[in-house]
Copies of this chain bind each other. A is one copy, B any other.
Amino acid sequence: MTAQEILFRSARRADLPSIVRMLADDDLGSQRERYESPLPESYYSAFEQIDNDPNHELIVAEQNGEVIGTLHLMFLPSVSFQGGLRAQVESVRVDKRFQSQGIGTEMMKWSVERAKQRGAHVVQLTTHKSREDAHRFYKRLGFKGTHLGMKLSLK
């Protein structure tokens, strides 16, 4: 737990450099992101789509006016589970300088509450098999690793 209050809010266009910096700042992210100035336009066009879609919430966590974490919460209507709404979390990152202070936990708890508010029956996510710390982190929050996450790259 951190003593200082964390503010959660929707990301603004001006937050994109902070968000991309965090996405790029680990072994997997550094291979696939381009944290440059200016950022590649593709980041901005994705932001516009996310920002205009009420089923998507790109969130930043702020402390003392500084962006220190991000996550993308999506709400997925589905026929299965009796037409139940799913919440999905992607692109969760905490700034390296602020890790191990409970900020990720606060971010996920906020997401779970938000998912409940919006009527989702489940929160789902996938995490790379190599991220064992993340597996333990999500298990502590009550997540169960019941599924295999499979990907087919089209590039």
Contacts and interface: CB of A to CB of B under 8 A. Distances in A.
Interface of A: 16, 19-20, 23, 29, 32-34, 40, 42-47, 49-50, 53, 55-56, 58, 72, 74, 76-85, 88, 90-91, 112, 115-116, 120-129, 135, 138-139, 141-155
B53 A55 contact: yes
A72 to B, nearest CB: 6
Given A129-B148, A146-B129, A149-B145, A120 B79 contact: no
Nearest to A74: B76
A126 B127 contact: no
Nearest to A153: B122
Nearest to A50: B77
Contact of A120 (B19, B33, B154): B154
A109 to B, nearest CB: 11
A4 to B, nearest CB: 26
Closest 10 CB pairs of A and B: A147-B149, A46-B83, A42-B83, A49-B77, A126-B147, A143-B150, A149-B149, A43-B83, A123-B152, A80-B91
A21 B137 CA distance: 37
Nearest to A108: B152
B148 A135 contact: yes
Contacts of A126: 124, 126, 147-150
B154 A144 contact: no
25 contacts: A23-B79, A23-B80, A32-B81, A33-B80, A42-B84, A43-B83, A46-B84, A76-B88, A78-B91, A112-B154, A116-B154, A121-B155, A122-B154, A123-B152, A124-B149, A124-B152, A126-B149, A127-B147, A141-B152, A143-B151, A145-B148, A145-B149, A145-B150, A147-B149, A147-B150
